[in-house]
Chains A and B, each alone.
Chain A
Amino acid sequence: MTLSFLIYKIILVVIVFAVTLVVAMYSTYAERKVAAFLQDRIGPNRAGPFGILQPLADGIKMFMKEEVIPGASNKTLFIIGPSLVLLTACMTGVVIPWGSPLVIDGTVYPLQITDVNIGILYLFGVISLGVYGIMIGGWASNNKYSLLGAMRASSQMISYEVAMGLSIIALVMTTGTLSLGQIAEQQHGWHWNVFVQPLGFFIFIICAFAETNRAPFDLPECETELVGGYHTEYSSMKLGFFLFAEYINMFISSAVIATFYFGGYNMPFIERFVQDPNWLAILGVVFLFMKIVFFIFVFMWVRWTLPRFRYDQLMNLGLLFK
């Protein structure tokens, strides 16, 4: 392992981390805009032109708020909860292939932080850890609503991971690999997995909604029944962490869906126009982000269309076959 390789990886990690945070930041803005447009409103448009500084204003607000830690809570766990949620959310971006490798002076620079050969396992292992943050946060709050939210989060996870695991097994069987880099590479041209596994894709995207705790599966939050669910007692930036992690998860989920089923960085017929592999790699990143943005929109579109499932309905959907 040379020093230049190490520096390159560090730079890549920082870029991916920064991009993830920026995309998550602007997802909050996009969410409010999409919600507004779907409801015939305009949405935030006061902070900066078209309201593009709104996420900054929200962030400043979050930092300035008073930090309340309930007296009866377990203080250590109370702080670990949101930290764990954000940490696991940020860890998942590591295995996503953002583009085909760049070749500069004969050296290959892969646009993927690490292509572990068990990438899928790593991904779902880390994502599943996220629910611990929610559980710990909800438990440590010493509040009945938080506890109910945390309980729902864990039982929801158990129920949807069955379906998600099965759809992934189908994908793994067709691709014959657990490495995300190889899955993306195999889908060159028109060989997108969605044409091979349409049902698998459909099940996977439904599970992704549940994974990110978003409507119609936002039972752990469930404002109407549980006040705020697991983050009822949280304030200031700790609440911000929980909310922010949701958007990071949404970004990563969209990236995963795009990589698994929609060709990742591949775009059909692009080789006819661009031959240079480096330009292709850069264009691949652009295409991947276009797909990600589309799926983020789908996430929001679904959220602002469908009402929330009832708790037992979700259990039936996830675990029973009728």
Chain B
Amino acid sequence: MQLTNRSKVVVKKEMTLSERLYIPAIFSGMLITLKHLFRKKVTIQYPEQTREVSKIWRGQHVLKRDEIGAERCTACGLCAVACPAEAITMVAAERKPGEEHLYREEKYAASYEINMLRCIFCGDCEEACPKEAIFLTDRKVDSLYTRAELVYGKDILVEAIEKDKRVDVTARETPDVAEFKANKVFGHNKVFDKNS
């Protein structure tokens, strides 16, 4: 069965004398490498220079806090469900009286771990999040020596409480994204309707 029109019939033709000598081919090859000698170098000298990344680069995650500094995450588990690599695990806990300044809603994540070795940085977790709590940032995940170190807990993921140390995610919170997030409930329901 012919799938495409790109197939070509192979013809094994006799080589001419100049082809058999290889010398013209060798010289043209050497000319190509000589041209590369003067070409612009592609090296990025890493510690001094870093590769430029896109504005919406998906790097290390951040767990956001709200205006008063309370964690936005309510441990609903949608991100863990959405995660195709099953990198996210969490333990939920109930907020006690007097902790309103720490946690935004009655339920919060007592522990929240992302295994950075499993994570594929697809961004499905931030898409699934109904509370605008998790975002991927333009920071790169560190290179570490052990696997255990690369399971990031809340100590690394949650952003600092001070206003000036918060992680800026405005590049990923564009109006389009806000629009999408506002209507997201219906989007998810559509999928569920088909199944039921």
Q: Point out residues on A near B: beta carbons under 8 Å.
A: 37-42, 45, 301-302, 304-306
* B40 / chain A contacts, CB cutoff of 8 Å: 40
* B43 / chain A contacts, CB cutoff of 8 Å: 40-42
User: Given that A305-B29, A306-B29 are known contacts, is A42 also in contact with B45, CB under 8 Å in the complex?
Assistant: yes
A41 to B36, CA, bound (A): 10
A304 to B43, CA, bound (A): 18
Name the contact of A305 in the complex, choosing from B33, B39, B41, B45 (C-beta under 8 A).
Answer: B33
Say yes or no: A40 contacts B33, CB within 8 Å.
no
Q: Tell me if B144 counts as interface (CB < 8 A to partner A).
A: no
Min CB–CB distance B171 → chain A (angstroms): 31
Min CB–CB distance B31 → chain A (angstroms): 9
Residue of B nearest to A45 (CB): B45
A41 to B43, CA, bound (A): 6
Q: Tell me if B156 counts as interface (CB < 8 A to partner A).
A: no
Interface size on B, residues (CB 8 A): 14
* A305 / chain B contacts, CB cutoff of 8 Å: 26, 29-30, 32-33
Interface string of B22-49 (1 = CB under 8 A from A): 0000100110111011011111010000
Q: Point out residues on B near A: beta carbons under 8 Å.
A: 26, 29-30, 32-34, 36-37, 39-43, 45
* A42 / chain B contacts, CB cutoff of 8 Å: 41, 43, 45
25 contacts across the A-B interface (CB closer than 8 A): A37-B36, A38-B33, A38-B36, A38-B37, A39-B36, A40-B40, A40-B41, A40-B42, A40-B43, A41-B41, A41-B42, A41-B43, A42-B41, A42-B43, A42-B45, A45-B45, A301-B33, A302-B30, A304-B33, A305-B26, A305-B29, A305-B30, A305-B32, A305-B33, A306-B29
* A302 / chain B contacts, CB cutoff of 8 Å: 30
19 extra A-B contacts, CB within 8 A, seeds A40-B36, A41-B42, A301-B33 = A37-B36, A38-B36, A39-B36, A40-B39, A40-B42, A40-B43, A41-B41, A41-B43, A42-B43, A42-B45, A45-B45, A301-B30, A301-B34, A302-B30, A305-B29, A305-B30, A305-B32, A306-B26, A306-B29
* A301 / chain B contacts, CB cutoff of 8 Å: 30, 33-34
* 6 closest Cβ pairs, A-B complex: A305-B33, A42-B43, A38-B33, A305-B30, A40-B42, A37-B37
A37 to B45, CA, bound (A): 15
Min CB–CB distance B22 → chain A (angstroms): 9
* B42 / chain A contacts, CB cutoff of 8 Å: 40-41
A37 to B36, CA, bound (A): 7
* A39 / chain B contacts, CB cutoff of 8 Å: 36
A37 to B34, CA, bound (A): 9
A99 to B9, CA, bound (A): 61
Min CB–CB distance A50 → chain B (angstroms): 13
* A304 / chain B contacts, CB cutoff of 8 Å: 33
For A38, A42, A302, which residue has the most chain B Cβ atoms within 10 angstroms? A38
A302 to B37, CA, bound (A): 13
* A45 / chain B contacts, CB cutoff of 8 Å: 45
* B29 / chain A contacts, CB cutoff of 8 Å: 305-306
Residue of A nearest to B31 (CB): A305
Min CB–CB distance A227 → chain B (angstroms): 27
A213 to B39, CA, bound (A): 29
* B37 / chain A contacts, CB cutoff of 8 Å: 37-38
A40 to B29, CA, bound (A): 16
A38 to B37, CA, bound (A): 5
Residue of A nearest to B20 (CB): A322
A191 to B154, CA, bound (A): 80
Residue of B nearest to A305 (CB): B33
A42 to B41, CA, bound (A): 6
Min CB–CB distance B74 → chain A (angstroms): 50
* B39 / chain A contacts, CB cutoff of 8 Å: 40
Min CB–CB distance B25 → chain A (angstroms): 10
* A41 / chain B contacts, CB cutoff of 8 Å: 41-43
A305 to B36, CA, bound (A): 11
* B41 / chain A contacts, CB cutoff of 8 Å: 37, 40-42
A305 to B22, CA, bound (A): 14
A302 to B22, CA, bound (A): 14
A305 to B28, CA, bound (A): 10
* B33 / chain A contacts, CB cutoff of 8 Å: 38, 301, 304-305
Residue of B nearest to A34 (CB): B37
Min CB–CB distance A309 → chain B (angstroms): 10
Min CB–CB distance B168 → chain A (angstroms): 33
